[in-house]
Structures are given as C-alpha cells and as structure tokens.
C-alpha cells in the first residue's frame, strides 16, 4: 500500500518529468496554469462524448448522433466581418451529410488529414436542409482503446490538443487510482459519495454515463462543501472581533422615522431593525443589504447612520462613481440635515483649499457622514471616530479597498460596523455560498405609490408603433433611454452599436435633443453627459449598459433595449430599473434582434417586475458563472459546482455547517485533511469581507 505522503509527493511532481511531456509541451502547459501532476488531475473535461453508439448516415434522425465517416471535401469562407463558416461533406458507405462549424477554421486542417473520423453532434433541419451543426470530431486512430469509446473532451488552452491531455493522463492513471480521500469518511459514507480516486478516474477515463454522473456528484459536493465551510469559518472568525457597541436610541430613531415624508415599507423596517440589533451586539456587523432598484436602501442606511451619530460615531458612505456619490450626498442631506447632522461629499473633484478644509472637518468630527468615491480610503482621510461604513454597489470594490476603509475606524481591538449594499437581487443558493460569511437583509417591497414598469416585447417590424408611444411621452416632457449592446460596429448585421443607433434615433425623433454615453468615454465626460441628462438638457440618451448602475433620473419614463434577446435576464432587469423612479408610469421596450418567437427570459421579464424571482430564473437558465462568475472579492473559478442546484447546495451546506462548527472549536480537525484545508483556506481568502 503506497502511503498518502508518497502520493502527495507524486502530486507535486512537475509535468515536465512525465513521459511524453517535452520541454515545449511543458512550457505550454505551464503558461496555461498546469505545472504539477495535481494541477492536471484537477483539470476536468468540459464534456464527454459517447462514441459507443454509432449510426450510419442513412439511419440519421434529428437529435444527438454519432457517425463514423471520411471527409469528401471541406472549405472555410468569410461570410461577414468576424464570422467564418467551415463546411464539410462527410461520407460513409450509405450516403453523404453536410456538417457546419462557425468560427472554427481549424476544422478544415483537421478534416483534411487522411483517415476515418467519429463525428458527434446535433443533426437537424437548418435553413431548409438537414445537417450536423458544430459537431465534435475525433480521428478514429487517435482514440484510446481503454475508454470504452466514451471520451473526455478538454478545453484547449494555448492550443494544447485534447489528445495530448488524454495521452499524459493515461500515464498518470495508476496514480489517480491510488489517490487518498480528501473528505471526512463519515461524510463520504452518509452522503453515499464516490471516493475521490473513483471520481477522478471516472472523469478522465469514463466507462458510462452513470459513472460520470456519480463522479460529478462527488466533485460538485466537495467543491460546494469547501466553499461553504470557508464562509462559515469566516463568519466564526468575525464573531471573535470586537465591534463598537451602539445602543438603540428608540425615542430618537422613532421620531426620525415618523418625520420622514413617506412611510417605510415593512421590508425597510425589518432591514433597519436587523442593523440596529447588530449595532448593539458587541461584534462588528458584516451585513449585506440587498434590495431591488428603487427599493429604498439608501433611506435604511441613512437611518442607521443617524443612530450611529447619536452615539457619537461618524459614518463613511462609499460609492463607485462621482455622480452617484453626489446624488447620495444630496439624498442623505435632505434626510439628515433637519436633524442636525452634517453630510459632506469627498470625490476626486474636490481639490485644493476646499479639500484641505473638508479633511480638517472630518478629523475634528464636525462631519457626521462623509460620502465619497475611492477617495475615502486614501491615507489623507482621517476620521475622528468612524463607527459605521456603508459600501454601495459593493461588488465594484475589492477586499483590500474595504479593509483600508474599515481600518480608518479600527483601534486594533475594535472594528467599525460594515453594511454592504447591492441592487442586484442574489438568488438564495448564491447567498448560501458566495455570501455565507455575511448576514443578509432583503428589501423585497417597493415604496408605496411606485408604479410597476410596463414591459413589452417588440418585434423589429413593430418599431413604428413603439416610436409613436415614445413620442407621446417625450411630448409630455418625459425623457428616454435607448440601450445598444455594442460601443462600435462589429460587422454583425443584427447588432446595434451606440453610434448607429444614435443616427437612427435622431432620424426617428427629429427636434429632440439626443446624446451618447458609453464605457470608452473618460469619467469626466460620462459624468458630464449624465448631469446634462439629469438636468433635462438631453431628451433621449443613447447608451451602452454603462447606465445599468447609475444615478436616478425620475423624469425618465422610457427605456428601449435593442437586441434584448442578447442580454442576460438579470442585466435586462437592472437596465429596466433606470426608469420608474418618479411619479409617472414608466415603460420598458425589449426590441428583438429578429422576428422569431421571444425567448423564455424575455417572456419572464415581460410578466414580472420581481427581481428576486427573475434572479432565480436567470440562475436556472444561465448558471451562476455568467451571473456572478467573479465573486465580488476575487475569482472563485468553480470547476464543476452548479450554483443553481439547490438540492446539492442544501446537502453540502448541512454537512459543512456541522463540520465548520467542529473545526471552529478544534482547528486541528481541518488540518487532518491537507487538500481540503488548502481549498478551504483559498476560499476564505476570496470570500472574506473583513
């Protein structure tokens, strides 16, 4: 029996020492981040192809198929800028079939080589003829015999071919079969999981779809387990820190809430109560306040800042852009100045004598709430007594930036309270994983009187009728956004750029003031355009998704999203939230790229204004990678876990909670599992906020 220590030594072996890996290949692998044997074993296939059931061309039926063929002819053509189409005619003894690939010109060279190929993919009717669309291709003589014809297909970093990965891994198969367990034995047993060695063997040397499914279950569970344990341990560590105790001043806070010119919703009251309780706990608050666009998060944060001020503490309110900072400062001044609080604004534009005087006021404590951008965590900003930090659109800031801001209120023993805010509704399953180290408050109600936005899917053929409705709004003195998916023309006929869309809008709405906004403009230019739009010096703003998170323009009641079928559901909902911020009925028009039937996500958006419901649907449709592929703190790089699999998350969370509780009491338990400890520590660094 080979010891775990010897296996660990082998896992640390450089790939350059493996038979079949020459200096050039080793360099390619290293550039792709694959240096050791362990790196390669955890480089999982992106899919598996089943070549065990082969049919003849004559027997083809619509659906997923595999055929064994020769290539009669192949050619690649440029059809338009940015698009190359490779077409091949494939033959066997029973007939011929066409196969097509888009932007895969290497297929021409691959199919030009002599020999037979296994071709596997979707067979169906496309543009009036039956063909295989974007199938995988394997040269028969290259297939390893031991796979049973179910083959792993790897991504190809630095152009490294799948066949080379299979060849190197075949050399490592004996080692894979001896890998030690990385999870506690009781968890593997109670969850009925495959062992780690069985799982990696099945992934790299699959025998059937059943063994692959069992392998995926094991690896997905382990990844989620490690991530959730990390979040739980972070939370336990945070509870050991000292936090400023801010006693609840019920009469004053009640008076403040009563004096507001509007009634707080039930959800706002619950969120505020959560924060006020955290203030009294004696440990630093680490809370995420998530609320849909326009739900009133700023008011809740302002009320909490008022309570902090009553106890003698200052508040730092950090936001990502200058114009948003200015709007928050104005909102907070209107809320808090009547109660004797001083609100100041610090951005990069505040310079010279004005900046010097402001910083002096912050030091002496005459500024109760300092609103600003990244300028807040600069060394020159010194607070007299910072007890509460609010970070809006928290995913725009990194861990280091948050730590630098919090350090301004730390006395080495006690930390300020932290409230992070986001307008992106986060699915429950993501809350359990990415944000497991935070307490979470949700504002899932809109303020009274806020009218739901009317959303309509528009075919390109119905643009004239849509424009008529927009003119009615513009003639009433309202304003409109038009959203284009691209900054510049890409050569794709069905994609709108800002410039081409602006020309169309100017032609359709003559006499109205039209301007452009996009991400390639510098910060000052973007802010200038938004200020002009806010001041109603612009009637129609043609922009990219740069306006997805931005200032409130209550007078804007129309948003038109071009090529809406090419956006994600959560992003569409965020864009829609740019309107509906005032007293007037607002409208969102989702203009499709063509006249085909609307996608499910467009229909869901048309029927619902509930961002939390839509975030769950988006998670189902696209997976977490595209919604929140980069955790707000760093790259998670989940290899296999599906954050939309709520049942698996529940299983992993239950086991992780038990294990984290034991580890918090006795850290040596985690050290017994070296590989698990390594993963947990990695996720702790990536997901911690404090």
Average pLDDT in the chain: 87
Per-residue pLDDT at 424 exceeds 50: yes
Query: Going along 300-426, which residue ranges are E strands?
Result: 314-318, 343-346, 369-372, 386-392, 414-415, 417-422
Higher pLDDT, 541 or 10: 541
- Where exactly does CATH 3.40.50.300 map onto the chain? 246-280+296-422, 454-608
Instruction: Give the Cα separation of 77 and 87 in Å (integer).
Output: 8
List CB contacts of 447: < 8 A, sequence separation 6 or more: 262, 265, 294, 295, 296
Span 454-608: which CATH code? 3.40.50.300
Query: pLDDT tens, 202-214?
Result: 999 998 889 999 9
Q: With contact defined as beta carbons under 8 Å apart, do 18 and 171 qualify?
A: yes
Among 3.40.1190.20, 3.30.470.30, 3.40.50.300, 3.40.50.150, name the CATH number for the domain at 246-280+296-422.
Answer: 3.40.50.300
* Tokens matching residue 491: 């050569």
Residue 644 has pLDDT above 80, yes or no: no
| Torsion region of 73: left, alpha or beta (phi above 0 gives left; psi -120 to 50 gives alpha) | beta
- Confidence band (pLDDT; 50, 70, 90) for 320? confident
pLDDT band at residue 414 using 50, 70 and 90 as cut-offs: confident
Neighbours of 685 (CB within 10 A): 13
CA distance 35 to 491: 40
**52-142 belongs to which CATH class?**
mainly beta
pLDDT, tens only, 195-249:
999 999 999 999 888 999 999 999 999 999 998 998 888 888 888 888 999 999 9
Q: What is the pLDDT of residue 629?
A: 37
Question: Higher pLDDT residue, 675 or 100?
Answer: 100
Q: What is the pLDDT of residue 687?
A: 62
């Amino acid at each position: 029996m080979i010891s775990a220590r010897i296996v660990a030594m082998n896992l640390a072996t450089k790939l350059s020492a493996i038979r079949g890996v020459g200096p050039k290949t080793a360099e390619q692998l290293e550039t792709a981040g694959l240096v050791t044997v362990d790196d390669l074993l955890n480089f999982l296939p992106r899919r598996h192809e089943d070549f065990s059931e082969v049919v003849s061309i004559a027997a083809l039926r619509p659906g997923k198929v595999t055929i064994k063929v020769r290539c009669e002819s192949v050619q690649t053509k440029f059809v338009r800028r940015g698009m190359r189409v490779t077409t091949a005619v494939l033959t066997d003894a029973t007939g011929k079939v066409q196969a097509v690939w888009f932007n895969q010109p290497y297929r021409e060279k691959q199919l030009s080589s002599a020999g037979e190929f296994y071709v596997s993919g979707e067979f169906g009717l496309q543009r009036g003829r039956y063909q295989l669309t974007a199938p995988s291709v394997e040269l028969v003589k290259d297939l390893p015999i031991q796979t049973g014809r179910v083959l792993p297909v790897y991504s190809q970093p630095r152009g490294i071919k799948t066949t080379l990965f299979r060849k190197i891994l075949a050399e490592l198969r004996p080692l894979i079969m001896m890998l030690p367990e990385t999870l506690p034995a009781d968890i593997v047993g109670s969850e009925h999981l495959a062992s780690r060695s069985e799982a990696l063997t099945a992934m790299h040397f699959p025998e059937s779809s059943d063994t692959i499914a069992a392998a995926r279950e094991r690896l997905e569970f382990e990844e989620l387990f490690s991530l959730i344990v990390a979040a739980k341990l972070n939370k336990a560590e945070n509870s050991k820190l000292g936090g400023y105790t801010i006693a609840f001043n019920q009469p004053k806070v009640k008076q403040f809430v009563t004096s507001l010119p509007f009634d707080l919703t039930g959800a706002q009251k619950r969120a505020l109560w959560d924060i006020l309780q955290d203030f009294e706990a004696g440990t630093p608050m680490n809370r995420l306040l998530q609320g849909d666009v326009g739900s009133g998060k700023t008011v809740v944060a302002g009320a909490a800042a008022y309570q902090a001020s009553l106890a003698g503490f200052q508040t730092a309110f950090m936001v990502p852009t200058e114009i948003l900072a200015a709007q928050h400062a104005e909102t907070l001044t209107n809320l808090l100045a009547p109660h004797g609080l001083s609100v100041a604004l610090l951005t990069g534009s505040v310079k010279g004598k004005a900046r010097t005087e402001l910083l002096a006021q912050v030091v002496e404590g005459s500024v109760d709430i300092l609103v600003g951008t990244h300028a807040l965590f600069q060394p020159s900003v010194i607070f007299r007594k910072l007890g509460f930090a609010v970070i809006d659109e928290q995913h725009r800031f990194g861990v280091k930036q948050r730590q630098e801001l919090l350090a301004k209120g730390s006395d080495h023993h006690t930390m300020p309270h932290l409230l992070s805010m986001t307008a992106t509704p986060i699915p429950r399953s993501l809350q359990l994983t990415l944000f497991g180290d935070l307490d979470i408050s949700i504002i899932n109600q809109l303020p009274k009187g806020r009218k739901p936005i009317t959303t309509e899917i528009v075919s390109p053929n119905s643009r004239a009728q849509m424009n008529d409705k927009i003119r009615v709004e513009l003639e009433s003195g309202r304003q409109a956004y038009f959203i284009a998916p691209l900054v510049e023309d890409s050569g794709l006929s069905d994609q709108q750029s800002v410039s081409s869309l602006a020309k169309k809008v100017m032609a359709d709405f003559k006499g109205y003031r039209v301007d452009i906004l996009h991400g390639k403009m510098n910060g000052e230019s973007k802010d200038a355009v938004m200020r002009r739009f806010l001041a109603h010096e612009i009637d129609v703003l043609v922009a990219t998704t740069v306006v997805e998170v931005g200032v409130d323009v209550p007078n804007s009641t129309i948003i038109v999203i071009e090529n809406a079928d090419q956006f994600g559901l959560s992003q569409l909902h965020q864009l829609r939230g740019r309107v509906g911020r005032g007293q007037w009925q607002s409208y969102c028009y989702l203009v499709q790229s063509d006249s085909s039937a609307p996608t499910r996500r467009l229909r869901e958006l048309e029927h619902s204004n509930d961002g939390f419901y839509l975030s769950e649907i988006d998670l189902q449709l696209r997976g977490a990678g595209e919604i929140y592929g980069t955790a707000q703190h760093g790259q998670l790089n989940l290899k296999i876990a599906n954050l939309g699999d709520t049942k698996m998350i529940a299983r992993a969370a239950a086991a992780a909670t038990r294990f984290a509780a034991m580890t918090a009491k006795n850290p040596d338990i985690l050290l017994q599992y070296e590989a698990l400890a390594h993963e947990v520590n990695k996720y702790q660094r990536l997901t911690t906020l404090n």
